[in-house]
Homo-oligomer: A and B are copies of this chain.
Amino acid sequence: MKGKLYGIGVGPGDPELITLKAINAIKNSDVIAVPHAKNGEKTALKIIQTYLQDQPLLECHFYMKNDLAMRKEHRLKAANDICALLEEGKKVGFITLGDPCVYSTYMYVHKIIEERGFETEIIPGITSFSAVAAKLGVSLCEEDELLHIIPASSNDNIEKILECQGNKIIMKSNKNLQKVLSILKENGFSKKTKIVQRCGMIEEKVFNSIDEFNSDNDTDYFSVIIVKD
């Protein structure tokens, strides 16, 4: 009998924000696949440490820079490594920060493995933006309000920030963080914008307006921006 792949969302960082389903999947996995990329990976492993039962870890190395061919090569390598285990009948739990369905590298591996006919299951996780809204004590959307999730990773998308009418979550701002904040500020959103960095982690920082924002720490991958329209 062939194995099964679990894509396990372990939540945004706070170890208590993991679901029972994720914990059970980790405990039932024969091998835990751990994405190994700049940032993130150690956090995911730290969250699940308590639930590991001496299972071997499979490190999956991902290439996060712009070279698409290199990125695909790394994803394929990770998928091949996992498939070898699935062929042996192993259950593989692939852990990922946040939710596997929201901007996660896991999905590329998932698609390759699913296309090869293996059984897969995704276990959703608390997203970073849910954690940020809870932290701030604000709703993301109420009544008839729209909510737009915008990755600020490209210039095209930065232009779309103002086009989208309604509440906005801006993610993956990274190197574009200052640019995004400038645009929001110029257009009168300073007081309507809140920024949380590394939500739920020890290094957490909360800025309740753009004016409060300190540019010292501006390229943090874990920054989430909420704009209430």
Contacts and interface: CB of A to CB of B under 8 A. Distances in A.
Nearest to A12: B124
A137 B124 contact: no
Contact of A16 (B20, B148, B150, B153): B20
Contacts of A210: none
A114 interface: yes
A110 interface: yes
Contacts of A21: 14, 16-17
A145 B138 contact: no
A91 B216 CA distance: 39
A139 B16 contact: no
Q: How many copies of this kind of chain does the complex include?
A: 2
Interface stretch (A32-40, A98-106, A190-198): A98-106
Interface string A91-127: 0000000011111100110100010000010111111
A131 B126 contact: no
Given A125-B130, A139-B101, A151 B157 contact: no
A180 interface: no
A140 B102 contact: yes
Nearest to A105: B142
Interface residues of A, number: 57
Interface string A126-158: 110011011101111111111111110110110
A135 B138 CA distance: 28
A228 to B, nearest CB: 11
Given A137-B110, A148-B146, A154-B144, A126 B160 contact: no
Given A19-B17, A127-B130, A146 B141 contact: no
A199 to B, nearest CB: 10
A144 B120 contact: no
B149 A147 contact: yes
Interface of A: 7, 9, 11, 14-21, 23-24, 99-104, 107-108, 110, 114, 120, 122-127, 130-131, 133-135, 137-151, 153-154, 156-157, 160, 164-165
